[in-house]
Amino acid sequence: MLRLTGVELRRLAARRLTVVGVLGVLVITALLLVVVWNDARPLSAEEQRSAQLQYEAAHAYWVENGEEDRRRCEADWDKQPDPKPAKEELCNFREPTVDDFGKPRVVFAETTPDRLLGASYLLVFAAFLIGASFVGAEFSTGAIGNWLTFEPRRLRVYGSKLLAAALGFVPVAGVVLSILLLGTYLIIGRLGDTSGTTAEVWGDLTAIGGRAVLLVAIGAALGGVVGLLLRHTAAAIGVAMGYLVLIEGVFAGFLNSAQPWLVKLNFDAFVRHDTTYYVNECGGGDGGNYVCNSIEKTLSFEHGAWYLGIVAVVLVLLGGAVFHRRDVNS
């Protein structure tokens, strides 16, 4: 098994799609760092002038109309449908400041978790596609038949392929996330705010990165399973895209209470260690009218971990059972 896994790792590394895919991921990582720089960079002189003009106009309006707007808002508050928002919140016309029109300082500890999460989407998607191609191409070219005449123990063959796909992406994901994390720290350290980056923050970020690497490895292996089940890279990509568009996009949009049972939210919950989502809850208000409110809910890390673990185990077992029994006729 170990020898077979070593062979499969060498094959994975020698494939052109793997090389192109990894280079593509590195290029996108560089672009993400450009985005970090763009978010953190100070405003140019032209942008600062424009922000100052906008501030002056807003302040002048507030001086002239702010009190009147507040009085009118408080007078109209009674007409708001139930449940009414707090009057102090609804009618808080505070004096504008210059900072409202400038650019907020980017804080490393606050923004980096989401950047890591975004990069992990990219990595998992790339790993899934390359994993699907890695196994699917063997079936579409018929090379699997030749391979099985050298090693007929199918479950070993299957295990070695999935293990190679998963292990092959661990260093890739580790390097990419490390580049992103350290690059972000250096850029924000120069242009933004890294003062609150305590050991605890570093620990949280490392944990997010570690969990993302684990999911990238699982994504590569599941890509291999889907490639094996569908026997063609293009079919595997089609299924993945179809799922993302139809289920995560359209279905989740229509039925947002189903989100805890879809992949993306569980992915977020696992990587970010809990996540929040919103569901619309509708019903009759105090005044008898029909009211919908967007309610924030939390999906726990444990839910995400169990969900993803069960999905992965079921798919791996299904792929193994199919491969064990399948006639290889091509």
Interface with another protein (CB under 8 A): 3-4, 6-7, 10-11, 14-16, 137-138, 141-143, 145-153, 325, 327-330
Residue 160 CB, shortest distance to another protein, in Å, is 9
Residue whose structure tokens are 């696992």: 270
Residues 224/134, Cβ–Cβ less than 8 Å: yes
Task: Give the contacts of 69 (CB within 8 A, at least 6 positions apart).
Answer: 93
Rank residues 280 and 330 by Cβ distance to another protein and give the closer one. 330
CA–CA separation, 106 and 154 (whole Å): 53
Element (H, E) at 294: strand 290-299
CA–CA separation, 257 and 281 (whole Å): 9
DSSP letter at 277 equals E
Both structure tokens of 238:
């089609």
Rank residues 136 and 304 by Cβ distance to another protein and give the closer one. 136
Residue 221 CB, shortest distance to another protein, in Å, is 20
Residue 299, CB-side half-sphere exposure with 13 Å CA sphere = 26
Residue whose C-alpha is closest to residue 33's, from 142, 191, 162: 191
Residue 7 CB, shortest distance to another protein, in Å, is 5
Rank residues 247 and 328 by Cβ distance to another protein and give the closer one. 328
Element (H, E) at 250: none
Residue whose C-alpha is closest to residue 115's, from 23, 198, 182, 47: 182
Rank residues 141 and 276 by Cβ distance to another protein and give the closer one. 141
Asked, as a colleague might, if the bond just before 96 is cis with ω within 30 of 0, I would say no
Rank residues 20 and 53 by Cβ distance to another protein and give the closer one. 20
Rank residues 26 and 328 by Cβ distance to another protein and give the closer one. 328
Residue 130 CB, shortest distance to another protein, in Å, is 14
Residue 27 CB, shortest distance to another protein, in Å, is 22
Element (H, E) at 325: helix 301-325
- Which residues pair with residue 193 across a beta bridge? 107
Residue 316 CB, shortest distance to another protein, in Å, is 22
Residue 148 CB, shortest distance to another protein, in Å, is 6
Residue whose C-alpha is closest to residue 161's, from 3, 326, 322, 8: 8
Residue 227 CB, shortest distance to another protein, in Å, is 14
Rank residues 120 and 133 by Cβ distance to another protein and give the closer one. 133
Rank residues 143 and 245 by Cβ distance to another protein and give the closer one. 143
